[in-house]
């Protein structure tokens, strides 16, 4: 695909519009306790069971920074190739809401903990770099529940005070596909680092999407609208598509776009105005006087750097070099850390005489199919990497054919059985004795004289028929390579 073909443009009559997107991703920090209190952060707990006096903003309660969350943010910054700020400041963002007990959110406004960075996306037409503007730490709010009672709203403060990383991108994204790749890449990096589980269903990852449009080739940005709190990639893509078209329509009609905050209605598949710029909150940011500026030393950052595992980009590079994988194959294997782990374990268990290509094909083919159909993550795979490696080796050394291997694999799923044992117990070992196979083939040719003549007269398609007959007669156990060789000789 050429670069031109892949450009995402919106066409109206003679005009073409480019879409400009920036994301503010809210990633929940993977931590046992909250950003400024010792309450637990476990998902799905009974309402208001993970709330401390600090989280509920009782009089005289004070925030104390959780050092682990700071480390997680810095690690994420390192993973985003970003500048780590040795001095950052927590500010109060003041507004009233029932699920915001303090009446302010502690966030970082002027001086975030992480500055500019970048991530690389693998797009079909090549790599694309997306700039990171900043990453800052902030508290999550509680949850208002409006549908339990017709008269009252209930508030669950379990989330109140949970640490979030807000990762702000530069307006470098140009299509819903890039947004998809960007979110997946962020998620992948954070899961490698263990700083965010990236679970969008549980709200661990959500985003505010800034969208504007401009005539193709224009250098200036159009007026942007911010779509608040979108919690799945699919919805982000739908929202962008709707919003970009809405803006283009306005321009085509000669109208102006108002800078505003919009909501995406997932049922109607449309965005609608939430508040205009004039109605925007005045958050009255100021440094939180309960907290001192956050200062980290060079040594502290260096120690964290040493703690960073191999990240997807490096792993991919290594897979291509070390295992001679294609970029495409490497991408599939590295994008999810658990897949990469599984793959590397299989490689390790296969020993010296290994067929990596075969292993990759089997992982991305048979294994993925099983996981998909069972709705499992690779970390929950019913077949262990160890047994998987044995299976691949059985194919590689000719003990079983690829076809038999599929039967064996199906038997392995139930209770992670040893494929070697299955092969022995079921007598599935491949027939590779040339004498026996020759006798078998002689009989087939004899039984199908007419077809053999037709083949010799040039009907080459019939070769497949003879292979099939031979495999059938051997109960599928015949070594297909040998069958081919013998048939060619005999016919």
Partner 1 sequence: MSDITKQSLTELVENIKNKKLSSTDVTKAFIDRSEKSVELNAYITNDFTSALDKAKKFDQKPNFNLKLPGIPMAVKDLFCTKDIKTTAGSKILNNFVPTYESTVTENIWNEGAILLGKLNCDEFAMGSSNETSFFGNVQSPIDKNLVPGGSSGGSASAVAGQLTPVTIGTDTGGSIRQPASFTGIVGLKPTYGSCSRYGIVAFASSLDQAGPMAQNVKDCALLHEVISSYDPKDSTSIEFKRNHYSKELTNNIKGKKIGIPKEYRVDGMPKEIEDLWQKGIQYIKDCGAETIDISLPNTSYALPTYYIVAPAEASSNLARYDGVKYGFRAKGENLIDMYEKTRSEGFGAEVQRRIMIGTYVLSSGYYDAYYLKAQKVRKLIKNDFDEAYKKVDAILTPSTPSSAFKIGEKTNDPVSMYLNDIFTVPVNLAGLPGISIPAGHDSKGYPLGLQIIGKAFDEQNILNIAYAMEEKINFKNKITDWWIK
Which of 62, 348, 436, 439 touches partner 1 by CB under 8 A? 62
| Interface with partner 1, residue 104, by CB under 8 A | yes
| Interface with partner 1, residue 53, by CB under 8 A | yes
Q: Which two tokens stand for residue 379?
A: 């970390």
**Positions in 265-304 near partner 1 (CB under 8 A):** 282-286, 289-292
| Interface with partner 1, residue 125, by CB under 8 A | no
Minimum CB distance to partner 1 smaller for 292 or for 436: 292
| Interface with partner 1, residue 145, by CB under 8 A | no
Q: Residue 306's closest CA among 316, 294, 296, 298?
A: 298
Q: Residue 343's closest CA among 325, 266, 66, 11?
A: 325
Q: Which two tokens stand for residue 453?
A: 């003549």
| Interface with partner 1, residue 439, by CB under 8 A | no
Q: Residue 33's closest CA among 158, 205, 135, 141?
A: 158
Crossing angle of helices 176-193 and 312-323, in 10° steps, is 90
In the complex, the smallest distance separating the C-beta of residue 153 from partner 1, rounded to whole angstroms, is 8
Which of 4, 14, 44, 96 touches partner 1 by CB under 8 A? 96
Q: How many other CB atoms are found less than 10 A from the CB of residue 70?
A: 20
Q: How many residues does the chain have?
A: 491
| Interface with partner 1, residue 92, by CB under 8 A | yes
In the complex, the smallest distance separating the C-beta of residue 413 from partner 1, rounded to whole angstroms, is 52
Distance, CA of 174 to CA of 171 (rounded, Å): 8
Which of 77, 79, 101, 112 touches partner 1 by CB under 8 A? 101
Minimum CB distance to partner 1 smaller for 34 or for 92: 92
Distance, CA of 183 to CA of 169 (rounded, Å): 11
| Strand, helix or coil for residue 399 | coil
In the complex, the smallest distance separating the C-beta of residue 411 from partner 1, rounded to whole angstroms, is 59
Give how far Cα 422 sits from Cα of 266, 350, 405, 407, Å.
49, 18, 10, 10
Estimate to the nearest angstrom the gap between the alpha carbon of 409 and the chain centroid: 27
Number of residues that bind partner 1 (CB under 8 A): 31
Residue pair 50/158 in contact by the 8 Å Cβ criterion: yes
In the complex, the smallest distance separating the C-beta of residue 285 from partner 1, rounded to whole angstroms, is 8
Which of 60, 150, 427, 458 touches partner 1 by CB under 8 A? 60
| Interface with partner 1, residue 182, by CB under 8 A | no
Distance, CA of 252 to CA of 438 (rounded, Å): 76
Minimum CB distance to partner 1 smaller for 68 or for 285: 285
CA torsion through residues 416, 421, 423, 429, sign = positive
Minimum CB distance to partner 1 smaller for 104 or for 182: 104
Q: Which two tokens stand for residue 385?
A: 């990497």
| Interface with partner 1, residue 453, by CB under 8 A | no
| Interface with partner 1, residue 57, by CB under 8 A | yes
> What x-and-dash track marks residues 149-178 binding partner 1 by CB under 8 A?
----x-x-----------------------
Which stretches of the chain bind partner 1, using CB under 8 A? 53, 56-65, 92, 94, 96-98, 101-104, 153, 155, 282-286, 289-292
């Amino acid at each position: 695909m050429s670069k031109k073909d892949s450009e995402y443009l919106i066409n109206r009559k003679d005009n073409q519009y480019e879409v400009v997107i920036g994301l503010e991703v809210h990633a929940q920090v993977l931590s046992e306790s909250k950003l400024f209190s010792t309450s637990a952060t476990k998902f799905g707990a009974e309402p208001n069971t993970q709330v401390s006096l600090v989280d509920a903003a009782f009089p005289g309660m004070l925030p104390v920074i959780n050092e682990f969350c700071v480390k997680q943010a810095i690690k994420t910054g390192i993973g985003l190739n970003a500048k780590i700020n040795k001095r950052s400041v927590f500010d109060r963002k003041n507004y009233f809401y029932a699920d915001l007990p303090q009446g302010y959110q502690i966030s970082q406004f002027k001086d975030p903990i992480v500055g500019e960075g970048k991530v690389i996306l693998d797009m079909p037409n090549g790599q694309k770099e997306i700039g990171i503007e900043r990453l800052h730490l902030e508290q999550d709010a509680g949850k208002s529940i409006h549908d339990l009672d017709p008269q009252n709203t209930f508030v669950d403060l379990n989330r109140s005070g949970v640490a979030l990383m807000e990762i702000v991108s530069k307006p470098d994204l140009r299509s819903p596909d890039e947004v998809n790749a960007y979110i997946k890449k962020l998620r992948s990096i954070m899961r490698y680092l263990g700083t965010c589980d990236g679970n969008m269903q549980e709200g661990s990852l959500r985003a505010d999407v800034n969208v504007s449009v401009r005539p193709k080739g224009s250098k200036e940005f159009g007026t942007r609208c911010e779509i608040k709190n979108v919690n799945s990639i699919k919805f982000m893509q739908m929202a962008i598509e709707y919003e970009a078209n809405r803006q283009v329509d306005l321009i085509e009609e000669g109208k102006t776009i108002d800078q505003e905050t919009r909501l995406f209605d997932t049922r109607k598949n449309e965005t609608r105005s939430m508040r205009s710029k004039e109605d925007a909150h005045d958050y009255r940011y100021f440094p939180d006087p309960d907290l001192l500026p956050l200062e980290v030393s060079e040594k502290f950052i260096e120690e964290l750097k040493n703690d960073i595992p191999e990240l997807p980009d490096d792993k991919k590079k290594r897979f291509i070099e070390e295992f001679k994988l294609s970029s495409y194959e490497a991408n599939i294997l590295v994008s999810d850390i658990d897949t990469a782990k599984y793959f590397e374990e299989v490689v390790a268990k296969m020993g010296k005489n290994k067929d990596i290509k075969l292993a990759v094909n089997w992982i991305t083919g048979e294994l993925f199919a099983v996981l998909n159909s069972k709705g499992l993550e690779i970390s929950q795979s019913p077949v262990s990497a160890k047994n998987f490696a044995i299976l691949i080796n059985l194919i590689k050394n000719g003990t079983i054919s690829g076809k038999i291997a599929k039967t064996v694999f199906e038997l392995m799923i139930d209770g992670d059985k040893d494929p070697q044992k299955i092969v022995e117990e079921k007598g599935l070992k491949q027939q590779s004795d040339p004498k026996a196979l020759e006798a078998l083939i002689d009989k087939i040719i004899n039984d199908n004289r007419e077809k053999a003549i037709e083949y010799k007269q040039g009907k080459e398609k019939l070769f497949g028929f003879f292979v099939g007959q031979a495999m059938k007669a051997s109960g599928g156990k015949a070594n297909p390579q040998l069958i081919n060789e013998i048939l060619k000789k005999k016919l």
